[in-house]
Amino acid sequence: MNVYGRGPQGEKGETGPPGEKGDRGESVLVIAAEEQVARLIQAKTIPRWWGMALTGVAIILLAGSAFLGAVAYQTYHLTHTVQEGAIAQCEDANHVRADDIEIWDTFVSLAEGTKPTPGVIAEAKAFEKFIAKVESPTNCAAVYGN
């Protein structure tokens, strides 16, 4: 036994017959690949059920795409309609606010009387500023813009 733990070398066996030499550079893998390609070319068609299955999948995908497109169109149309309605209601509210300001102005002028004191005039002006701030018109296009 030697130092590395190996046993004694065995006897040399008989030499086999010489192998056939192929063309230079051609390996077993290349030969197997060529045979496989030849088999695939001869078979050249896929089974009928594969074609039917792929056609079914394509039809399902097409139907799903059409359905999603219809849903997207309806959602866009509904959103646009709601937005237009919100803008119209906002504009109507602006007209109501303008009418409210006129009513308050009339009320303040009646409250001041014929000979108002400086204190009443100051209160009336402060109240008119408050009403103008509270009843100011809204920029409907900016709030509910397209």
Asked if 137 and 97 touch (Cβ cutoff 8 Å), the reply is yes
Sequence-ordered list of residues with C-beta below 8 angstroms from that of 1, at least 6 positions apart, any chain: 7, 8
* Max intra-chain CA distance, the chain: 139
Residue type, 106: T
pLDDT for the residue 115? 76
Question: What pLDDT score does 78 carry?
Answer: 93
Rg over CA atoms, the chain = 47
Give yes or no for residue 2 having a pLDDT over 80.
no
Q: How far apart are CA 55 and CA 16, in angstroms?
A: 57
pLDDT of 50 above 90 = no
Give yes or no for residue 65 having a pLDDT over 90.
yes
Task: Calculate the dihedral angle through the C-alpha atoms of 62, 66, 67, 69, rounding to the nearest 10 degrees.
Answer: 140
Mean pLDDT, range 51-80, rounded to an integer:
92
With vertex at residue 133, the alpha carbon angle to CA 128 and CA 135, rounded to the nearest 5 degrees, is 90
pLDDT in tens, 12-26: 878 877 767 655 556
Segments making up each domain of the chain, as ranges: 42-143
What tokens were used for 75?
A: 């959602």
Q: Is the pLDDT of residue 142 over 90?
A: no
pLDDT of residue 57: 92
